[in-house]
Amino acid sequence: MASPENKLLLDSVRDYLDQIREEGMDGLPMTERPQNLAKDVPINSAPARTRKESTIDMLARVKPSPEMNSTASKYPGIENTADLGSLREFIGECTRCKLHRGRTNIVFGVGDPNADLMFIGEGPGADEDAKGEPFVGRAGQLLTDIIERGMGLKRSQVYICNVVKCRPPENRNPEPDEVLACEPFLFRQIEMVKPRVIVGLGAFAVQCVLRLKTPISKLRGNWHEVRGIKMMPTFHPAYLLRNPGDKRLVWSDIQEVMKTLGLPIAGRGNA
């Protein structure tokens, strides 16, 4: 078991990694001493090995993806799905990408099929995978508080889903092939629900749907557009659990959303 000092250190490292991940990094630069390098050569003079290209780097290069504008081109027949229920049937026990190997449940999405407001996150975590419902762990409870105590809505009045429907192993970021395989389902969900506003939760989900590498700290607070619908990016609730000081920024983003939806703001904001 870790000593109190080591636990403190581990918590600090975890917080730091959480912070830079939210900023869009999913790896740290590495330097590696080549095998044939003399032992007395300082490590800093060795050529740096560039880190593995991130999912967002790769997705940014494939824009504009035909799948972004036409779900039909990727999965023939998907355009004939009439509602969310038939879309879920179309997905079936999906094996279209490697994420199917580790999942317990496909986490399709929940909420009002005619909602004015849609929340999009990155992908299911352990709690979501076990239950088959998005945002049900501690971060999910915070999202529910934002919706219910902050916005004055019921969770059942909005629609909540993710970019990928199956849990990535070890909670890693989804890889480009996994995003490209699963996003036609997200796009079809957006077409069917036709929300007035989308809230993008966290760097990965926002950068995926926008095909941008811009850090979430610069994207949040400004309106963007996804498939013709206004999208407000903001921080992921899991990030807020570790960085509660940034709740005020999320509240400011949510207020913009409430103004656009014509929801009353006075007396709210205690999520």
| 179 makes contact with ligand SF4 (CB under 6 A) | no
Q: Pick between residue 142 and residue 181 the one whose CB is nearest to ligand SF4.
A: 181
Q: How is residue 131 written in tokens?
A: 């239950």
- Nearest approach in angstroms of CB 262 to ligand SF4 is 34
Identified binder of ligand SF4 from the candidate list 166, 197, 212, 232, rule CB under 6 A: 166
Euclidean distance between CA atoms 260 and 222, whole angstroms = 13
If the CB atoms of residues 166 and 226 are measured against ligand SF4, the closer one turns out to be 166
Encode 153-204 in three state secondary structure.
CCHHHCEEEECCCCCCHHHCCCCHHHHHHHHHHHHHHHHHHCCCEEEEECHH
Q: Which of residues 229-268 bind ligand SF4 (CB under 6 A)?
A: none
Considering the rule CB under 6 A, would residue 197 count as an interface residue with ligand SF4?
no
Q: What are phi and psi of 27, to 5 degrees?
A: -170, 165
Contact 159, 119 (CB under 8 A): yes
Which of 21, 165, 220, 247 is in the footprint of ligand SF4 by CB under 6 A? 165
CB of 251 to ligand SF4, least distance (A): 32
| Sequence-separated (6 or more) residues with CB below 8 Å from residue 211 | 59, 60, 62, 63, 64, 65, 68
Stretch that binds ligand SF4, among 5-13, 18-26, 95-103, 147-155 (CB under 6 A): 95-103
Bridge partners of residue 159, in order along the sequence: 111, 118
Does 167 engage in binding with ligand SF4 (CB under 6 A)? no
Cα 262 to Cα 259: distance, rounded to the nearest angstrom: 5
Q: How far is the CB of 5 from ligand SF4 (least distance, A)?
A: 40
Smallest gap, in angstroms, from Cβ of residue 192 to ligand SF4?
16
Determine if 99 is a binding residue for ligand SF4 (CB under 6 A).
Answer: yes
Query: What is the residue type of 22?
Result: E
Which residues contact ligand SF4 by CB under 6 A? 91, 94-97, 99-100, 106, 164-166, 178, 181-182
